[in-house]
Structure 1
Amino acid sequence: MAPKSLVLAALLTVVVAAGQVTRCAGLGASPNASVVISGAVPCSTGNNINVATAPAFPNATVQFMCYGKAMAGATADSSGNFVITIPGASRDQLTAIMSNQCNLVVTTPLAACDASLAGASGKLVSPMKFLGITTGSGGGGGDLGLGGIISVIIQILTGILSGILNLAPQAFSLIP
Structure 2
Amino acid sequence: MALSIADATTVTASINGTLFCTVNGSLGVNGSATPVFPNALVQLQCGGGNTVVASATTNSAGMFAINLNFNILGPSPVTLANLLGGRCRLRVATPLVSCNSTLPPGNLVSAPLRLIVTASNGLIIIFRFGTTGFTLTASN
Give TM-score scaled by structure 1 length: 0.63
Structure 1 unmatched ranges of 5 or more = 1-12, 25-29, 137-157
Report the Cα offset of residue 120 of structure 1.
Answer: 3.0
Summarize the Cα distance change of 1:91–1:134 in structure 2 as closer, same or farther, 3 Å threshold. Answer: farther
Summarize the Cα distance change of 1:91–1:125 in structure 2 as closer, same or farther, 3 Å threshold. Answer: closer
1:170 and 2:132 aligned: yes
1:106 and 2:92 aligned: yes
Contact kept in structure 1, 2:53 and 2:77, CA below 8 Å: no
Paired position in structure 2 for 1:39 = 17
1:76 and 2:58 aligned: yes
State how far apart, in whole Å, the 1-side matches of 2:70 and 2:40 are. 25
State how far apart, in whole Å, the 1-side matches of 2:78 and 2:98 are. 34
Contact kept in structure 2, 1:33 and 1:87, CA below 8 Å: yes
Contact kept in structure 1, 2:19 and 2:26, CA below 8 Å: no
Please list, as runs of the form range in 1=range in 2, the aligned pairs for 1:10-21 lying within 5 A after superposition: none
Please list, as runs of the form range in 1=range in 2, the aligned pairs for 1:24-173 lying within 5 A after superposition: 31-46=9-24, 49-50=26-27, 52-53=31-32, 54-67=34-47, 68-88=50-70, 90=76, 92-117=78-103, 119-136=104-121, 162-173=124-135
Contact kept in structure 1, 2:44 and 2:88, CA below 8 Å: yes
- CA RMSD between the two structures: 2.6
Contact kept in structure 2, 1:41 and 1:80, CA below 8 Å: yes
SS at structure 1 position matched to 2:17: strand
Contact kept in structure 2, 1:31 and 1:91, CA below 8 Å: no
Instruction: Provide Cα deviations, 1:69-125, integer angstroms capped at 9, x if missing partner.
Output: 1110000000100100112264852110111111000000111111222x4332100
Of the two, which has the highest radius of gyration? Answer: 1
* Residue identity opposite 1:37 in structure 2: I
Report the Cα offset of residue 43 of structure 1.
Answer: 1.1
Structure 2 unmatched ranges of 5 or more = none
Contact kept in structure 2, 1:61 and 1:73, CA below 8 Å: yes
Summarize the Cα distance change of 1:91–1:105 in structure 2 as closer, same or farther, 3 Å threshold. Answer: closer
Contact kept in structure 2, 1:45 and 1:120, CA below 8 Å: no
State how far apart, in whole Å, the 1-side matches of 2:78 and 2:111 are. 20
